[in-house]
Amino acid sequence: MELSLAIPPVDRRAVSSLFSRLRTPSGQANPLPIYKELRAMGDVIPAPWGGHLVNSHTLCDQVLRDRSWKVPGSEWRTRQEDVTRWGAPASRQMADTLPMLNPPHHTTMRRSMGNMFDRKSLEVMRESVDRITGRLLDRLTGDLCHGEVDFCELVTEELPVTVIGEWLGISPVDYPLLRSLTHDQVFTQELFPSRSQLALSDAATHRLREYFTALVEERRRAPGNDPVSAWLRTWDGLESDRAVADEAVYSLTLFVLLAGLETTSHLLSTMVWLLHEHPRQLEWLRAHPEHIPSAIDEVLRYDAPIHMISRIAPKDTTLAGVRVHKDEMVQLMVGAAHHDPAKYEDPTLFKIHRRAPHLSFGGGIHYCLGAPLARLEATSLLTALLERLPGLRISGSPVWAPRVAFRRLTKLTVARA
């Protein structure tokens, strides 16, 4: 008799219902029970909207590191029937940015960025990050004298845009505009954007295109000692057509802004939220600030800024016994994988001493180039908060945006104890 190794079918309606729950306020506040149900359905399960979901840490890690898996670049997007979703201007623009390029184009673009945040550059940036953090906390301290303050609005949204803005040499007058455009742009990268969200994303993309095209033109006219001018010099050596070089630099500049704002803001807000939810660990850290880096890594594991990463199957293949067809999209459920009991002991517990590796910055050839800067900003803010604001407390329930892939804490009210 032949043994049947058939995998029981997954109820697609049950998966859809889990994703609906994820977007509710309680799902946003605590997605872990939903992820537990998702993982219980299998390591690899069909996604109700097509393709598959990968829920296990081992498999997410394996796919990220396997160079044969592709990202959903422009060629893949043009083959999709859902033109509203994949043919929209914002989606086409994303397809030209670094994380959506496949080799060999990806290799050239990534190399052209250089090692943006190597040890030496970070040493230089540390001073400016600490200065900006200090200024923001001065303002926070002043405002706290009058009552409650929204920590996101005043600190965690402001620090990343000011750091990247200063680094790129952008005028502070433009920071509020860039903050708001990046929030709108991200809808195109979400799992289920509505038509109105896609329209917002398209409008933001158009404004960002104008803004960064003008910035690149300005640096052509008056090059300086900034990354955009450095990328122009690199690209002039790689490409004889100036328009092609300018387009490449435009795309790099746009992407570092998109990549570095919401993600880092989420890390900073979540760090403050989680540590205040665990006051004993917070107090211990105040006495042992040398453990700040491992606390930041636990925040990144516990609630990563990006909970889903997409990949495209390069050929018909099998993942955990499940057939995945060539060109199918799989969603690597990093948020769920970070609480996989096969990888982490007591995965639902927040433990700042854990020192466990995580996938928050991705893996393989697309590994995040901004990870050292994000860590630097988090270290600077946490160090200053521990020293300067021992009496800080969370004074209201936090509010999250109803997202699935890109987490966003929109409000975190704080007050003095």
- Binding residues (CB under 6 A) for ligand HEM: these are 71, 98-99, 110, 164, 255-256, 259-260, 263-264, 267, 305-306, 309, 360-362, 366, 368-370, 373-374
Q: How far is the CB of 258 from ligand HEM (least distance, A)?
A: 9
CA dist 114 and 100 (Å) reads 18
Q: Between residues 10 and 77, which has the closer beta carbon with respect to ligand HEM?
A: 77
* Smaller CB separation from ligand HEM, 56 or 360: 360
Cβ-based nearer residue to ligand HEM, 229 or 263: 263
Q: Tokens at residue 153, please?
A: 């609005």
Please give the backbone phi and psi of residue 195, each rounded to the nearest 5 degrees, phi first. -60, -40
**Minimum CB–partner distance for residue 280 and ligand HEM (Å):** 25
User: For ligand HEM, which is the closer residue by CB, 188 or 263?
Assistant: 263
User: Is residue 201 a contact partner of residue 187, using CB atoms and an 8 Å limit?
Assistant: yes
Q: Is the CB of 111 or the CB of 323 nearer to ligand HEM?
A: 111
CA distance 275 to 109: 38
Nearest residue (CB) to ligand HEM, 90 versus 306: 306
The nearest distance, CB 364 to ligand HEM, in angstroms, is 7
Taking CB atoms, the residue at the shortest distance from ligand HEM is 370
Residues comprising the chain, all counted: 417
Q: How far is the CB of 336 from ligand HEM (least distance, A)?
A: 15
Q: Minimum CB separation from ligand HEM for residue 219, in Å? A: 17
One DSSP character per residue, 187-221 reads: GGGSSS--HHHHHHHHHHHHHHHHHHHHHHHHHHH
Which amino acid is it at 110?
R
Nearer to ligand HEM, 144 or 305 (CB): 305
**Residue (10 or 227) nearer to ligand HEM, CB:** 227
Question: Between 32-40 and 12-22, two packed helices, what is the crossing angle to 10 degrees?
Answer: 170
| Least distance in angstroms from the C-beta of 38 to ligand HEM | 19
Q: How many CA atoms lie within 13 A of 399 on its CB side?
A: 10
Shortest CB 371 distance to ligand HEM, Å: 6
Q: How far apart are CA 74 and CA 240, in angstroms?
A: 24
Question: Mutual orientation of helices 242-260 and 175-185 as an angle, nearest 10°?
Answer: 90
As measured in angstroms, the least distance from the Cβ of 8 to ligand HEM is 31
What is the token pair recorded at 95? Answer: 């397809």
Task: Please name the residue ranges forming H helices in 80-157.
Answer: 83-86, 89-95, 105-113, 119-144, 151
Q: How far apart are CA 92 and CA 6, in angstroms?
A: 39
Alpha-carbon separation of residue 113 from 108, 235, 251 (angstroms): 9, 10, 11
Least distance to ligand HEM from the beta carbon of 99, Å?
Answer: 4
Q: Which is nearer to ligand HEM, 106 or 144 (CB)?
A: 106
